[in-house]
């Protein structure tokens, strides 16, 4: 029984390390691509046309079709991982504030 738990713990640790590494790589890549600018997007955002636009995530390279011409820079997953705005790729304001408070 005890050995089983050890293996389970090991698997969990490996998953955790992979997740953290993945996150770190994406964060570094996002910093290089978009810099440390703060997102200034407001609400629904700028004007968008009604054309189907081919779309590609700047971080993970996920491809797809976007419903309008206001194409995002990041996919939802990458935005979540890096704490950035999916639309412009810049750092979300509230995360920056949290960071400032914790420093």
Q: Provide the binding-site residues for Zn ion, judged by CB under 5 A.
A: 39, 41, 57, 59-60, 62, 75, 78, 85, 87-88
Closest approach of Cβ 17 to Zn ion, in Å? Answer: 21
Nearer to Zn ion, 23 or 87 (CB): 87
Rounded to the nearest 5 degrees, what angle is found at the Cα of 57, between the Cα atoms of 29 and 50?
145
Distance of closest approach, residue 26 Cβ to Zn ion, in angstroms: 8
| Residue whose C-alpha is closest to residue 56's, from 72, 32, 34 | 72
Nearer to Zn ion, 52 or 93 (CB): 93
- Report the residue number, 13 or 18, with the smaller CB distance to Zn ion: 18
Task: Kindly give the residue spans of alpha helices, DSSP state H, lying in the chain.
Answer: 2-34, 76-82, 93-102
Phi then psi dihedrals of residue 85, to 5 deg? -75, 130
Alpha-carbon distance of 91 to 100, in angstroms, equals 13
Closest separation between CB of residue 76 and Zn ion, Å?
Answer: 8
Nearest residue to Zn ion, scored by beta-carbon proximity: 85
* Nearest approach, Cβ of residue 73 and Zn ion (Å): 8
């Amino acid at each position: 029984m005890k050995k089983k738990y050890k293996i389970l713990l090991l698997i969990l640790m490996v998953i955790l390390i992979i997740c953290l590494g993945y996150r770190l790589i994406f964060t570094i890549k996002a910093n290089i691509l978009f810099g440390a600018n703060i997102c200034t997007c407001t609400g629904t955002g700028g004007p968008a046309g009604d054309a189907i636009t081919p779309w590609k995530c700047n971080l993970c390279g996920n491809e797809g079709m976007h419903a309008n011409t206001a194409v995002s820079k990041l996919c939802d997953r990458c935005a979540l991982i890096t704490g950035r705005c999916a639309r412009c790729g810049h750092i979300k304001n509230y995360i920056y504030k949290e960071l400032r408070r914790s420093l």
